[in-house]
Amino acid sequence: MAESAANLFGFAGQETRPRHVAIIMDGNGRWAVNKGWPRLVGHRRGAERVKQIVRACPDLGVNWLTVYAFSTENWKRSTEEVLGLMGIFARYIEREADGLSAEGVRLRFIGGREKLTAKLRRLMEGIETRTAMNTRLNLTVAINYGGRDEIVRASRLLAERVVKGEVAAPPTEADFVQCLDTAGHPDPDLVIRTSGETRTSNFLPFQAAYSEYEFTQTLWPDFTPEHLAEILDRFGLRDRRFGGA
């Protein structure tokens, strides 16, 4: 970009800016239905929006971006929509691999992978390996992710490590954190949900215990880097005391 996103969008460079932003990308289906189009059109448009937000984040001072792409509850949707979403995920990885790598983006995935197709798992593992050394932006995509499921899986893993003697008993909170899908990731400073819904929907319940939240009426396909910059500006005005006076 000839001019940095920080200047272009009026981000004043406050000292208090979120290092890690997590986004519940809601409203793709409604966006399409409102226009008389199939829901999958909205999901495809939403994937394009992810690309724009990813490109804007580094210039806006965001080092970590985590997006909620598919929850453990989303399997309840129609077979057509689920299969379409899985195809969109696979195409995104295939088409964006070169661009993400060139732009210094490290891509990782969280969530259970056992229900995903073998092809999708191979693509995920491949791009994780390919981008592992990138540092400009850490992008984490939650697929087949549910916070309660993650906590259960982490608890089982921690118990196994204690039994094996890998972790001393009684285990600590730090030991538990190392068993989460997000081990090694900073907790999100800010969680954004688009589309006007005000639920957290099982997204990062442990990690977001002290996160700031922003709920916007904007549907995800309409959520632009300018919208993100405005929210980051408001974040800079918040007083985060973490339980202190």
167 inside domain: no
Active site residue 59: no
Residues at the binding site for Mg(2+) are 26, 212
Instruction: Tell me which of 7, 59, 74, 98 is the catalytic residue.
Output: 74
Residues at the binding site are 26-31, 39, 43, 71-73, 75, 77, 193, 199-201, 212
107 inside domain: yes
Active site residue 222: no
Share of the chain above pLDDT 90, in %: 89
d(CA 126, CA 157): 24
For residue 70, what is the domain's CATH number?
3.40.1180.10
199 inside domain: yes
Q: Output Rg (C-alpha) for the chain, integer angstroms.
A: 18
When mean pLDDT is compared across 13-17, 81-85, 130-134, the lowest value belongs to 13-17
The pTM of this model reads 0.91
41 inside domain: yes
69 inside domain: yes
99 inside domain: yes
Neighbours of 42 (CB within 10 A): 22
What DSSP state is assigned to residue 46?
H
Q: Stretch 24-52: mean pLDDT, rounded?
A: 97
How many separate domains does the chain show? Answer: 1
Give the distance from CA 30 to its chain's centroid.
Answer: 20
Share of the chain above pLDDT 70, in %: 91
When mean pLDDT is compared across 85-89, 95-99, 133-137, 143-147, the lowest value belongs to 95-99
d(CA 81, CA 85): 6
| Tens-place pLDDT, residues 39-86 | 999 999 999 999 999 999 999 999 999 999 999 999 999 999 999 999
pLDDT at residue 16 in the model = 77
92 inside domain: yes
Q: Which residues of 92-103 are buried (b: 16+ CB within 10 A; e: fewer)?
A: bbeebbeebbee
66 inside domain: yes
Residues at the binding site for substrate are 27-31, 39, 43, 71-73, 75, 77, 193, 199-201
Assess whether pLDDT exceeds 60 at residue 1: no
Alpha helices in 103-181 (DSSP H): 118-130, 147-163, 173-177
* Host domain of residue 67: 18-146+188-234
Give the distance from CA 198 to its chain's centroid.
Answer: 17
**Max CA distance (Å), the chain:** 58
pLDDT at residue 9 in the model = 44
| Tens-place pLDDT, residues 192-227 | 999 999 999 999 999 999 999 999 999 999 999 999
Residue linked to tokens 């060139």 = 102
Instruction: Tell me which of 26, 59, 181, 189 is the catalytic residue.
Output: 26
